[in-house]
Amino acid sequence: MNVIISASELADALRSERPPVLLDVRWQLSTAAASGQPFDGRAAYASGHIPGAVFVDLDRELASAPGPRGRHPLPDLDVFGAAMRRAGVSAGTPVVAYDGGIGWAAARAWWLLRWTGHPDVRVLDGGLPAWDGPLEAEAETEAEAEAETEAPAQGDFVPKPAEGAVLDADGAAALARSGVLLDARAGKRYRGEVEPIDPVGGHIPGALSAPTSDNVDADGRFRPAAELRARFGELGVTRDVPVGVYCGSGVSAAHEVLALEVAGIPAALYVGSWSEWTSDPARPVAVGPDPQ
């Protein structure tokens, strides 16, 4: 099954007899917008979203609290499952996730649902900017609320994690030696030239630089599968080699796992990523363009 969906395909699906559940997962890595105020995905959703979409909070429902396991460790499965059921997700219903366009947050929702057993999840290619259909805003008055579409029926999805799709720190270090470990952050962070968030710059020894930004075109849409296969192939990635991905905190790396899936290549995710790796000063750090 294709793991991405175009805006026109989504419009057709929403008119079908089996419309997908829509998850609005707008989120930004930056702590503050240009106005100086922190980005508020919930407010962005309230001001306008694809009709029928339900807002999902990445920081609270798609991750646990920050700590030694990273900035966005795996969510408590009870919390995640409850959020998905609240949104109307059932085991037999298709799901489409979208965000503000960069694709990272939507990919995190996609990855979590796939990892926990949902068989039919896709990401809106290009995110909300690609959608040219109508938007709806949250009601501001009681009368408007009464006229709105009813909340989605409670879903029945119960997350059941798969084995082998998640890497811990030791597993990531081992994979960098035995297979291919991709670092999805910007090249400057990989090389250790800058580090705006974590205490130490650089990369896991043996990891290869593969910035997430190179997975998409200028419009934020995924490059064709053949181009992605060629891109990853230059890094030694094939279906016969075990592949893992990490980033800063397991969000943009989910986008890279999605890109690899588009290319037909399965990959594991190191959820803790660099934020977990650098929480232990005993772990080795490589700097510069050389993987080692």
CB-CB contact of 167 with 70 (8 Å)? no
Token look-up 């997962």 returns 25
**124-130-135 Cα angle (round to 5):** 90
Token look-up 């429902």 returns 61
Give the alpha-carbon dihedral of 208, 275, 116, 172, to 10 degrees.
40
Residue 177's identity, in one-letter code, is R
CA pair distance 112, 158, nearest whole angstrom: 12
- How, if at all, do strands 121-124 and 4-5 pair? parallel
Instruction: Report CA 70 to chain centroid distance, whole Å.
Output: 15
Token look-up 């930056």 returns 30
The one catalytic residue among 25, 128, 167, 247: 247
CA pair distance 267, 215, nearest whole angstrom: 15
Write the burial class of residue 265 (CB in 10 Å: 0-12 exposed, 13-18 middle, 19+ buried). Answer: buried
Instruction: Say whether 130 sits in a helix, a strand or coil.
Output: helix
Q: Which two tokens stand for residue 14?
A: 């929403």
Active site residue 206: no
**2-24-89 Cα angle (round to 5):** 65
**161-165-170 Cα angle (round to 5):** 115
First vs last Cα of the chain: how many Å apart?
37
* Active site positions, annotated: 247
